[in-house]
């Protein structure tokens, strides 16, 4: 049913590729954190407007709240942002569900907005509180008097029914006298599934912000929604942790949500205040959990707003600006065939919507970015400072994860950093594989880097050279097009074995598969790029325990086969078929002792086929790096773990290449030995 009175959301794509609806103040402060040098003190509240204006962030609409009522996806609406976000769910003919009705003075406003939507029913049958603070629960009684059933977390029932310091004293003690006590119909312990009309909501107990804080999870048209109240908000923003809160429980609750999101990713994160994440909500669950753990490790008090704090500012500084989705076809409230549609509806999906936001990268763009990566490696290895400088934008930066003091920005600092490197002519930086996405002006890339050294003849008999793997890791790059050339705006190196790598464990990769378009008779340059990036992606998902991502690199009935035997021993063939088995196989491949230390590289891909189906032969290069030794000892901790050959059958599905069948053999296997002397081909291994 088409609804009227629902406002359009101003959708923005962040530099992380996440679609969000900003509240203005969050947008201003987040963008300022990208521009203001972390060495400069964050401005006080009374001078903030002046600083925002200096950096071009004093947009007259910037402080505006998200417009309401607004449609978020089928049957789910944001109907108020004052003083908290209130969400309305259309549960069919049985009535409506309302999450966090807010304060009593807003009661008539909410009724008017509900009526303006012209839904099948205007009766609010169920009111659900994410927690008992008055700004979320004060209007409970008004809706109860109109026939609504009230659902509250068990730990907050007393605060809602009787009124207590926990209800109001954290902010406005004088309101306790006028807070309308009410009767809770359903006390929630967590784990319940609420059947509300034609909708089902799962209750998750998340104590910490309050004793009875809960989150509500539901699925709409294949999209996972999580209503989080003040437990989790967008981009490292936390619930206010003052009197009557429990930081230990809060940390556990956030970790529980983050872990669960790795197995069942959250799409829409719908918080109690501030910015709304319209996709990739799992990013915010991870950020919240990591922020609390970092504060605990450093003995720092939890901060509701992250923007003034050093850890956040160093994380954000230098990132590209967000882009507003202002093109007509990208409005969140798209009209098709006379009906409202949005992400999550049957006739439009996220990839299609994002594909319309920008002009896609071309085959030439991919080629130029790969060439840039190679030029940088050559230039650094031979201390060609002018070429290194040409790889960066004028204000570009190079960073090392976990070491803010190592950041170099601008030509002077970058030139001094490269010029100070030792081992000129002996060290090789090798890109083992890259994944890239973006548009015609901005791009992102994740690359595996293998750094080796050869210092010539070794001292001592029996050794002709002294070559070794020095270190392995990742480059995360933000790129921009300047005067028609792709250059680095920000290059960040994360070495294997360090804390920066471990923070990536379990995170789904936020770079999309290459859209190679419709199947052609012959393989195109985009097809070959898409296949190569698929091979790199498979290794990345194993490295960072993205088990779901590994399975999704295959077709639904795809298979993986690995022969595990040594010459002279019986053959053991491990086979996984279908995404469930592939997911389990990826889990079994995770080795606790090697988490964050192993890198699966894919090189030398030979591809043949058509634009619909292809065969691929590639080399697997698996390395490990345990970081710098804690005790002086002979030798390095980085090494090649094993090598092998992959033979793959790949197919194009909806424009994207996926594995249909993979067979892997380590180089010690007899079948690999049998290939010696044979012509290079890409047919699958014969049994």
Q: Summarize pLDDT for 410-419 with one digit per residue, the tens.
A: 877 887 766 5
Q: What angle do CA 431, 436, 439 make, to 5 degrees?
A: 145
Closest CA to 531 of 640, 628, 662: 662
Q: What angle do CA 566, 568, 572 make, to 5 degrees?
A: 50
Please tell me the least confidently modeled range out of 56-70, 151-165, 497-511, 643-657. 497-511
CB atoms under 10 Å from CB of 488, counted, come to 23
- Confidence class of residue 108 from pLDDT cuts 50, 70 and 90? very high
C-alpha torsion angle, residues 289, 292, 294, 295 (rounded to 10): 170
Q: Where in the chain is the domain with CATH 3.10.450.50?
A: 360-495, 506-687
Task: Give the domain 11-355 fold.
Answer: Metallo-beta-lactamase; Chain A (3.60.15)
Is the bond preceding residue 589 a cis peptide, omega within 30 degrees?
no
How many angstroms from the chain centroid is the CA of residue 336?
29
Phi, psi dihedrals of residue 429, rounded to the nearest 5° = -95, 120
Q: Which helix (H) or strand (E) holds 445?
A: strand 442-454
**Is 80 exceeded by the pLDDT of residue 226?**
yes
The number of CA neighbours under 13 Å toward the Cβ of 651 is 10
How many angstroms from the chain centroid is the CA of residue 264?
13
The pTM assigned to this predicted structure is 0.53
Q: Where in the chain is the domain with CATH 3.60.15.10?
A: 11-355
The pLDDT of residue 424 is 55
Residues 6+ apart with CB under 8 A from 72: 9, 78, 87, 268, 270, 276, 278, 342
- Confidence class of residue 53 from pLDDT cuts 50, 70 and 90? confident
Burial class (CB in 10 A: 0-12, 13-18, 19+), 501: buried
DSSP tag of 437? E
**Is 60 exceeded by the pLDDT of residue 672?**
no
The residue with greater pLDDT, 29 or 464, is 29
Bridge partners of 455?
none
Q: Measured between alpha carbons, how far is residue 575 from residues 558, 559, 578, 666 in Å? A: 11, 7, 10, 15
DSSP track, 373-391: HHHHHHHHHTT-HHHHHHT
Please tell me the least confidently modeled range out of 17-21, 272-276, 316-320, 455-459. 455-459
Closest CA to 599 of 620, 624, 619: 624
The pLDDT of residue 645 is 86
Distance CA 88, CA 112 (A): 13
The pLDDT of residue 260 is 83
Crossing angle (nearest 10°) for helices 247-263 and 282-298: 140
CB atoms under 10 Å from CB of 665, counted, come to 22
Helix (H/G/I), strand (E/B), else coil: 576: strand
The dihedral region occupied by 152, where left means phi > 0, alpha psi between -120 and 50, and beta the remainder, is beta
Query: Which pLDDT tens digit goes with each residue over 237-284?
Result: 888 777 778 888 998 899 889 888 767 889 999 999 999 999 889 889
Residue ranges with strand state E in 580-675: 598-609, 613-625, 638-653, 656-666
Retrieve residue 108's tokens. Answer: 């008539």
Averaged pLDDT for residues 520-540: 89
- Confidence class of residue 403 from pLDDT cuts 50, 70 and 90? confident
Q: Measured between alpha carbons, how far is residue 91 from residues 75, 94, 95 in Å? A: 8, 6, 6
Q: Would you say 238 and 254 are in contact if contact means Cβ atoms under 8 Å apart?
A: no
The residue with greater pLDDT, 170 or 599, is 599
Query: Which pLDDT tens digit goes with each residue over 328-384?
Result: 222 332 222 222 222 222 222 222 323 333 357 888 889 889 989 988 988 888 888
**Is 80 exceeded by the pLDDT of residue 101?**
yes
Considering the chain, what is the average pLDDT of its residues?
A: 79
Averaged pLDDT for residues 2-29: 75
Distance CA 496, CA 598 (A): 8
CATH 3.10.450.50, applies to 506-687: yes
**Is 80 exceeded by the pLDDT of residue 149?**
yes
- Confidence class of residue 637 from pLDDT cuts 50, 70 and 90? low
CB atoms under 10 Å from CB of 361, counted, come to 22
Structurally, what CATH architecture does the domain formed by 360-495 represent? Answer: Roll (3.10)
Query: Which pLDDT tens digit goes with each residue over 151-183?
Result: 999 999 999 998 877 776 555 667 777 889 999
């Amino acid at each position: 049913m088409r609804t009227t009175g629902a406002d359009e959301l101003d959708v923005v794509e962040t530099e992380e590729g996440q679609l969000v609806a900003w509240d203005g103040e969050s947008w201003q402060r987040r963008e300022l954190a990208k521009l203001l040098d972390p060495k400069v003190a964050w401005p006080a509240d009374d001078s903030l407007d002046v600083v925002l204006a200096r950096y071009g962030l004093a947009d007259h609409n910037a402080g505006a709240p998200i417009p309401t009522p607004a449609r978020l996806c089928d049957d789910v609406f944001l109907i108020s942002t004052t003083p908290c976000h209130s969400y309305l769910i259309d549960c069919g003919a049985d009535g409506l569900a309302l999450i966090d009705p807010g304060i009593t003075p807003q009661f008539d406003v909410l009724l008017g907005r509900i009526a303006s939507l012209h839904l099948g029913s205007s009766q609010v049958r169920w009111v659900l509180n994410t927690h008992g603070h008055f700004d979320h629960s004060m209007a409970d009684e008004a809706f109860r008097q109109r026939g609504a059933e009230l659902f509250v977390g068990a730990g907050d029932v007393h605060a809602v029914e009787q009124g207590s310091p926990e209800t109001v004293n954290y902010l406005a003690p004088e309101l306790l006298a006028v807070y309308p006590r009410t009767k809770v119909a359903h006390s929630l312990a967590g784990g319940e599934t609420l059947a509300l009309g034609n909708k089902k909501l799962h209750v998750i107990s998340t104590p910490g912000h309050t004793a009875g804080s809960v989150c509500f999870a539901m699925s709409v048209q294949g999209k996972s929604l999580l209503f989080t109240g003040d437990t989790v908000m967008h981009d490292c923003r936390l619930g206010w942790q003052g009197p009557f809160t429990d930081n230990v429980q809060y940390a556990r609750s956030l970790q529980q949500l983050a872990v669960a999101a790795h197995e069942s990713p959250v799409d829409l994160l719908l918080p109690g205040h501030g910015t709304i994440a319209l996709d990739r909500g799992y990013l915010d669950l991870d950020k919240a959990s990591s922020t609390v753990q970092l504060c605990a490790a450093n003995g720092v008090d939890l901060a509701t707003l992250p923007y003034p704090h050093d850890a956040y500012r160093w994380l954000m500084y230098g990132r590209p600006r967000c882009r507003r989705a202002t093109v007509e076809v990208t409005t969140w409230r798209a009209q098709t065939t006379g009906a409202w549609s949005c992400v999550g509806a049957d006739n439009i999906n996220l990839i299609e919507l994002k594909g319309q936001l920008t002009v896609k990268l071309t085959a030439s763009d991919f080629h130029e970015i790969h060439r840039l990566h190679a030029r940088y490696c050559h230039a650094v290895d031979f201390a060609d400072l002018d070429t290194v400088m040409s790889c960066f934008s004028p204000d570009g930066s190079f960073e090392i994860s976990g070491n803010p003091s190592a950041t170099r920005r601008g030509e002077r600092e970058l030139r001094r950093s490269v010029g100070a490197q030792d081992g000129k002519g002996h060290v090789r930086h090798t890109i083992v594989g890259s994944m890239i996405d973006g548009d015609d002006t901005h791009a992102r890339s994740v690359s595996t880097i293998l750094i080796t050294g050869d210092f010539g003849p070794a001292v001592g008999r029996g050794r002709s050279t002294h070559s070794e793997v020095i270190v392995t890791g990742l480059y995360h790059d933000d790129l921009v097009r300047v005067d028609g050339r792709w250059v680095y705006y920000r290059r960040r190196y994360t070495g294997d074995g360090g804390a920066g790598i471990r923070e990536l464990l379990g995170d789904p990769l936020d770079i999309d598969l290459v859209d190679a378009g419709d199947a052609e008779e012959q393989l195109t340059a985009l097809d070959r790029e898409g296949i190569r990036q698929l091979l790199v992606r498979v290794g990345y998902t194993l490295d960072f325990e993205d088990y779901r991502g590994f399975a999704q690199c295959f077709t639904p009935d795809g298979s993986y086969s690995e022969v595990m035997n040594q010459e002279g021993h019986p053959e053991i063939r491990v086979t996984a078929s279908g995404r469930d088995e592939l997911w389990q196989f990826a889990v079994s491949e995770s080795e606790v002792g090697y988490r964050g230390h192993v890198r699966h590289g894919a090189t030398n891909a030979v591809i043949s086929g058509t634009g619909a189906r292809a065969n691929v032969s590639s080399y697997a290069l698996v390395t490990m790096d345990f970081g710098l030794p804690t005790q002086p000892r002979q030798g390095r901790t980085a090494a090649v773990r094993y090598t092998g050959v992959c033979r793959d059958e790949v197919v194009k599905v909806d424009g994207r290449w996926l594995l249909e069948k993979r067979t892997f053999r380590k180089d010690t296997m007899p079948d690999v030995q049998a290939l010696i002397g044979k012509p290079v081909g890409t047919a699958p291994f014969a049994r």
